[in-house]
Amino acid sequence: MKTISIGLVFVVLFLSACSTSLQDSKEDINTEDFCGTSTQASCTIDADCKASGCSGQVCQSINEEERITTCEYRDCYNAGAYALSCACKEQKCSWA
């Protein structure tokens, strides 16, 4: 019984450490360097918004006409690298 308890304690501590590590790495990301744009169109849920533009750098409403942008890629357009997604934030489509 002691072996199971010690093993369980180890697993809980390990998972706790992993969770803290993931939170710390997300806090280290400087989202101010992200250079995507948002239309700030109205929304009620995340599914009302989508990424558009040639490099996926525009966050807009699914009800808006598709945004056309120049087809250039810049590292600062990579929302995933900044842990951002196009979402409905405060009832407006924006990167969050």
> Which of 5-14, 47-56, 59-68, 87-96 is predicted least confidently?
5-14
**pTM exceeding the 0.85 threshold for the entire prediction:** no
Residue 81 above 90 pLDDT?
yes
Catalogue the long-range contacts made by 83-89 (C-beta closer than 8 Å, 24 or more residues apart).
83/26, 83/29, 83/31, 84/31, 84/34, 84/36, 85/46, 86/38, 86/49, 86/50, 86/51, 86/59, 86/60, 87/46, 87/49, 87/59, 88/43, 88/44, 88/45, 88/46, 88/48, 88/49
Identify the pLDDT of residue 27: 56
Identify the pLDDT of residue 3: 47
Q: How far apart are alpha carbons 55 and 78 in whole angstroms?
A: 8
Task: Give me the residue spans of the domains in the chain.
Answer: 2-95
Identify the pLDDT of residue 30: 82
Task: Tell me which of 83 and 4 has the higher pLDDT.
Answer: 83
Residue 5 above 80 pLDDT?
no
